[in-house]
Amino acid sequence: MFLNPRIFYDFYFVVSLILAAIYVYKWHKHFSVYFNLIFFMVPLTNLGYVWLCRAHSLREALLANKVIYIGGCFNMLFIALAIFMLCHINLRNWMRLIMFLGTLLVYSLSLTVGFNGIFYKSVNFVIDENGVGYLTDKVYGWGHFLFYSMIIGYFVLTFAALVYSIKKKKHVSRKIIHLLFFSESMSVIFFFGGRLLTDRLDFIPLAYILSEIIYLFIIHRICLYDITESGIDSVLEKGTTGFVSVDFAYNYLGSNYTARDIFPELSNIIVDTPISTKESMKKYVIPWLEEFKKDESKDKNHYKKGEKVYLVDVNYLFDGKKKRGYQLVITDDTKDQRYIKLLSKFNNSLKDQVQRKTAHIVEMHNNLIMGMATMVESRDNSTGGHIRRTSENVRIIVSEIKKAKTFNLSEEFCKNLIKAAPMHDLGKIAVDDQVLRKPGKFEPAEFEEMKKHAAEGARIVREILKNTDDADFKIIAENVAHYHHERWDGSGYPEGLKGDKIPLEARIMAIADVYDALVSKRVYKESMSFEKADEIIMEGFGKHFDKKLEQAYIAARPRLEAYYSKFDTQNV
């Protein structure tokens, strides 16, 4: 003889409420919605049983029965979906939709009880001697058999998912799978076995309570198993990373304690109000967001507060796959910035040392070249100083070319040309002394010998500079030595180049070289007056010299004359 069913159903209902309250206490926003629905449906279903046993009429009993079938239908759906989720089996949206619509259809059929014979063909209501109401003499219709088919289908699906997970899913906890097996097995036993024992007491509420207990334990475990969720919780709890969220209109959505500690003004911003009302937000945060909006690659910014330096990473705020605003992730970057600063200081120091060493090497290299040029000049029949003077001539003419902008000369080209000027006659080292030091006019054969110094000078320069890293200087220096005796009309040597085929640096060098030869004294001639030298130079434009360089020479002439006036042109 069973105890009064009211005691059982009241007990089941109270326990289910307590378990639901425990779930609410432990609830986390990352929990699946299926858990929420299960812990809501179980007390509701058990309330239906409490209501049924206290019914006073068939109408009240049938209404209570329809509440019970809410759990009978939808609890099975939510439990099945929860099991798929726990087993990491992803169902497509259309699959979940079909399952929901099928369950809704079956439950809709249960609502026809009392109106037609689809679910119950007939049913009676009695109240026993203890005042407990029952539905008896149930004759099921085809709708109820569809209900049984759905229940069996859900049991088959869930057991299949559990078996599949044991065999294939290594990352699903075996403890959780075993608990789910136990829960589902108890549900089968209570659902079908209880009906074989008695029709006066339903054991399904007990199965629901066992499911609640098991799911509470599973929820406690999955918070540890789910690395993503536990990681997020750990980061937030530890307080080393700040988070700030705003919508696309820059309205404040929220922040954590760390962010509010870094930006205290966040504590005074009301949710859903613009962040632009606060100075620090207007000065820093909004410009960061504006930059990110224009160019998503500009997502990293630094914010200094006291001795701390924070890295602020700007990202989109997602709701599922939909962008809903912006999120700022703030981390302490002080150590990295100090290291970068230290590394930068070290690099700058190293760079300074390298520059000093390089400058010293370059100076030695230039002195070596100048020494060679001076040695060659000492063999010539000039009275000395030609190298120094022609270099200054080049400097003066180049400065006027830059002013006139006739040619688009780069600073690097000008520096290289001035530096290369002393090397223009290095080839004379290969010329026989009898020819080189002849005091009079050259014979044809002697002039041919002298002309060799241009090509030979290019070869010597090429050998001297073959290992230099400055490719541009090497080309300019070689061209100056090789082609400074070429003439605009093609009558020069060594190759008879004509017009623009003569490199610009050689055309400039030619003017500087001839000018010095004219106004300087040689063992075979006297110095020429500035007026006479100028007349010869001017006549040479378009023949000997590039016509486009004429204006630069004219502009440079006063400075050239002033420079040579410092010397005794009779003795230079």
Percentage, residues of the chain above pLDDT 90? 26
Spatial strand order of the sheet with 322-332 comes to 252-255, 241-247, 322-332, 308-319, 300-305
Question: Averaged over 52-79, what is the pLDDT?
Answer: 90
Structure tokens at 137: 């003499």
**Tens-place pLDDT, residues 344-393:** 565 566 666 666 665 554 555 555 565 555 555 555 555 457 878 888 88
d(CA 424, CA 159): 95
Q: How many CB atoms lie within 10 A of CB 369?
A: 19
d(CA 549, CA 347): 45
172 has a pLDDT exceeding 80? no
Report which of residues 94 and 361 the model is more confident about. Answer: 94
The string of DSSP letters for 34-68 reads HHHHHHHHHHHHHHHHHHHHT--SHHHHHHHHHHH
471 has a pLDDT exceeding 90? no
Q: Output the pLDDT for position 357.
A: 61
pTM above 0.75, yes or no: no
Question: Averaged over 145-161, what is the pLDDT?
Answer: 92
Most confident residue range from 7-16, 227-236, 423-432: 7-16
Terminal alpha carbon distance of the chain:
140
The string of DSSP letters for 287-323 reads HHHHHHHH-TT--EEEEEETTEEEEEEEEEEEETTEE
d(CA 165, CA 88): 8
d(CA 564, CA 572): 9
423 has a pLDDT exceeding 70? yes
Question: Averaged over 541-562, what is the pLDDT?
Answer: 92
